[in-house]
Every structure is written in C-alpha cells, then in structure tokens.
Amino acid sequence: MKLYEAIQQGLASVTTMLIGAGLVEGKMLDPVQIKTETHVLFWEMIVPGGDASQKQLYVTYSIESANADDQYYLDGVSSGYEVIVAVDIFSRANDVATLVNAIETQVEEADWEFLFGSKNYDATNKAYAYRFLVKGTVS
C-alpha cells in the first residue's frame, strides 16, 4: 500500500464512522438542504460559507498524520500505516456529550482509538471547538 492510499483509506474510514454516528455529509447537500437539515453535518477540512458555517453544531475532519507501522513490514515494504485523523466539533451551545459519545462508539466498533485533543473557543466562528484524534491502522 502506498502512503496516499493509506491517507485516503483512513479518511474514508472516518467518514463511515461519522455517518454511523448519525451525522450527514455536508458536501452531498445543496444549499437549501444544508439550511434545513436537522442532523449534525460534517465536512472534510473546511465548512463552506453561508448557512453551513452558521449551523449551531457541525464537524470537520482532516488527516493529521499517516506513518508506516513498523509491525506491518513485509520484505522491507510497509503493508500497513498508522493513520491519525483530527475530528473537530464546533458548537455554539458547548454541549456536545451526546455527539461525542455517538462518534466514540463508532470509533471503538471499528477498533480504532478515540483520543481527546483540545477544547478552545473559536472567536472567528463564535463556537466552542473540540478536537478529537481518531487513530487506527489501515492496510
């Protein structure tokens, strides 16, 4: 497996986890659907402007790192990569327990790790920003 393939597979795995947790992929919706959707929306890396960035609660995710996993080497070629994906939750209400529990459950069911990164207040978005790291191996 090549590094770029590992990155894409890691991102696809996290997408599946987020959908399993009941979130809706924002890029699949048109602007009217984004405005009216009541489920939590998520995007890879950035939220488009307009109504999407005005949601009370939304999630973004992006690749944090992908490194050859030493325990998965075959004949000097890595057959597995440890992938870490940052999952950022933005909430104007500061109450994300239900959402975090749903995501964590999906991560655990996929045999990945769910780690706390940080909590901040994002003044630009006027929202609390929670960062979690989702760590797993792809091969």
Query: How much is the pTM?
Result: 0.92
Range 16-29 burial, b when 16+ CB lie within 10 A, else e: ebbeebebbebeee
Name the domain count of the chain.
1
| SS3 letters across 4-41 | HHHHHHHHHHHHHHHHHCCCEEHHHCCHHHHHHCCCCE
Between residues 70 and 6, which one has the greater pLDDT? 6
Least confident of 12-16, 92-96, 115-119: 92-96
pLDDT tens for 23-46 read 999 999 999 999 999 999 999 999
Q: Which comes out higher in pLDDT, residue 54 or 13?
A: 13
pLDDT for res 32: 94
Residue 90 sits in a domain whose CATH number is 3.30.2000
At 125, the pLDDT band (50, 70, 90 cuts) reads: confident
Please state, for a pLDDT cut of 70, what percent of the chain lies above it: 94
Cα dihedral sign for 86, 91, 95, 101? Answer: negative
Model confidence at 61: pLDDT above 70: yes
Residue ranges making up the domain that contains 26: 3-138
User: Taking a C-beta distance cutoff of 8 angstroms, is the pair 32, 110 a contact?
Assistant: no
- pLDDT of 107 over the 80 cut: yes
